[in-house]
Every structure is written in structure tokens, then in C-alpha cells.
Amino acid sequence: MTSRRSFLTGLAAGALLPPPAVPQTKGKLRITSVECIPVKLWARSSQGRLPEFKGDFDPARWRYSGPYAQLASAQMVIVKTDQGITGYGLGAGGAVAAEIIHGHLQHLLVGANPLNIELLWDQMYTSSALYGRRGVFVMALSGIDNALWDIAGKYAEQPVYRLIGGARAEKTPGYFTNADPSVGLELGFEHFKLPVRDGVRQGKAGMRRTVESLAEARKTIGPERTLMIDCGTRWNDENYTLEMARLLEDLDLYFIEEPLSPDNILGYERLIEEIDSAMIVNGEHEYTQYGYAMLLHHNATEILQPDISWCGGLTALRKIAQMGAERGLPIIPHRGSSLYGMAVVLTANAPLAESFGTGDNGTDLMLAMSSPYKDGYYYPTDKPGFGTEVTEEMIRKHAGSSAV
């Protein structure tokens, strides 16, 4: 059990982690404009399609998220400066995030020095305290913060990962997230994560389907490769999850991801105490170092899984990684093989990088943000900033998919 003193110490350390100094040898920069554009990352997606429910109790009603779920609500922030340096930041929240940026946050940025990243993050976060703190506001903040880091790297003519400590290894093993592991096998992956489609609302029949499908997946990839599952909160009941973990013991799962609601922190604490056959992980949908402080205080995850595009950007993610390191916990960011996520994967205690773009049927915009991949590993790039191939023209070409 984490003591009150150690909890507060950990939070303070995470909150006070300074940004790297970027010498302003080229004179002070000033932000001249900030724009947020919702974008499409997948070549084919049903996101935003109007639903057809089969009555008031259709299980699909609990899963309908409009155009604001996961990477389907992606947005890109474009920050321009008076020296011609442009930063591109991946965020989320779609048209709602764009409204927050255009109506609120851009007014804190235009005219400011973009290299004062920590200062600007704190001003944006604090100024939103009465309406923001979590959810779509932090997704908006994330896109801006990532764009500022992109500017810092380009200004210093260095990759962002070098600004924050440098790579710990020349490459990182990747894991493939897809319902069909055979696709990942063909691409050379050794580690696999499968989405679980049935949950507590599908009862015993859903349990049987889950066990059967995962047993088939284990057979497909063989006993020596890593198998993980993502429940997407569908198991959202502690006793149901405990029973499922028992039924899946023979499959040697590395981890069970997000079986419960992100808000059920005490439930995650219980699962970790009672399940030994697989690690219980969560945090993909947690926000900022402050949210993670509570997660860690309650020992509610065994691996940290923040997403750089909606946890508060790189500024928050660095602090989250530090807080985890102080507790001996690894970090495997959600979709960590994006060039944004790889900045932390390369510099922190990250044993794996989740696929982003690889085998995803992504648009050229998504692929422009994907890390180099070969034979099961992701590699860094030496290009300045986050090292993406993103252009303003490319962003505008894919604009509008999450503005429904």
C-alpha cells in the first residue's frame, strides 16, 4: 500500500519535472497562429455513421460513441511561428477539441514564445480548471502541446527524443493490435493484442465465444509468442472479470487491458490483488499526471498505458513515465509506435511499442506519423522534431472526418 507521504512525493516529482532547456540561439520565437483540424487516419472507417438500434436495450447503445472515440476523433494542431518554423501536433476530440482551441486556447498562445512549453501547458490547464481537467479538453491540450514540442525539436535541429534524454536502445519490439493475428504474423510481429467483442451484457454465451476465439488465436500464433487482450471496458463487472480470467488461465495471457470502466479505480485495485494469471492494465483513458497519480496511489494498473494524443501531450506523458519509473512500473503507451509516442517509448522503461499505421489500412497522413518498422521492431528517426512527414497540405487533404 502506498503511504500518503510517498504518494504526495511521487505526485510532486511528476508535477515538477522540468522540460529540457532549448538554447535560444536563433533569437526568441513568437507564435503567430494556431489552428486545429479534425482529420481522417483510416482509409475506411464507419466512424460517424448514423446508428440503427434494435430497441431501447440494444447492447450497441452502450458502445455508440458518435465521431469521438479513439483515434477516429483525431485532430491535428498546426502552430506557426514568426521564424517560419511550424509544429504539427496529433490530438483527439474532433470538432469539439477544435472549438476549444479556436475559442479559448489559441488566445493564450498567439504572441507567446513556443519554447516555454511547461509554462504554456500550465497556463492552458489551469485556465480550464472550472470546465476542463479531463476528457476532450485534455485531448485538445494534447494536440497543442505536441505541436510545441515539434517546434522545439525543429528549432534545436534535434529529434524530440534526444531533447528529453536520448534513446535507451536502437529499436523497440512492436506488438500488433488487430482482430486477425495472421496479418501480424505475415508482417513479422512476435507480440499480439486482440480486441474482445463480448462482455457482461452477452452473458455466458459471450464468455464461451471469447474463450473459443482466444484459444484459436493462441493456436494461430503458437505457444512461444506473446498474447494480450483489450476488453475495451466490455467486461465492466469485477466478478465477471474474475471468472473470465480463470477461464483464460491456460492461454498464458501477458495482460488483460481495460476490462472495467476507467472510473472504477477501486475495481482495478481488487482485480490486481486477486488475479495472478495475467497482468491487469489500464490508463489509456486516464488524463494528465494528476489522474495518473490517483491510479498509481490505488495500485490500479500494472503497466502504464497513456496515449500522447489525449493524456496531455508529451509534457504530461513524461511526468507519467517518471511517476511509473519511481514505482518500478513499465510504460507501454497506447499506439506507442506513432512518431509522437515513440519519443517516450525510446527514452523510458517501455518493453513494447503498439502498432500505429502498420497493417492498419491507414491514410497517407497516418503513415506519415508512423515509426519505421522492420521484422517486428520499430526504429527511431533522426529527423528534427517528432520526425514526421506531415505537411499542412496533407492535413487539409484529410480534413473533416470527425467534424460530424
Q: Give dist(CA 138, CA 105) in Å, integer.
A: 11
Cell digits of residue 261: 470502466
Tell me the residue length of the chain. Answer: 404
* β pairing state of 191-195 and 226-230: parallel
Q: Give dist(CA 92, CA 38) in Å, integer.
A: 8
DSSP code at position 234: T
Q: How many CA atoms lie within 13 A of 112 on its CB side?
A: 19
Q: Whose CA is closest to 48, among 35, 36, 64? A: 64
SS3 121: helix
* Sequence-separated (6 or more) residues with CB below 8 Å from residue 118: 18, 19, 315
Q: How many CA atoms lie within 13 A of 214 on its CB side?
A: 30
Q: Give dist(CA 234, CA 245) in Å, integer.
A: 14
CB 376 within 8 A of CB 226: no
Catalytic residue flag (residue 191): no
Q: Give dist(CA 231, CA 73) in Å, integer.
A: 20
Q: Cα angle at 318 between 154 and 3, to 5 degrees?
A: 165
Q: Residue 26, class by beta-carbon neighbours within 10 Å (0-12 exposed, 13-18 middle, 19+ buried)?
A: exposed
- Pick the catalytic residue from 191, 297, 334, 398: 334
What amino acid positions are annotated as catalytic residues? 334
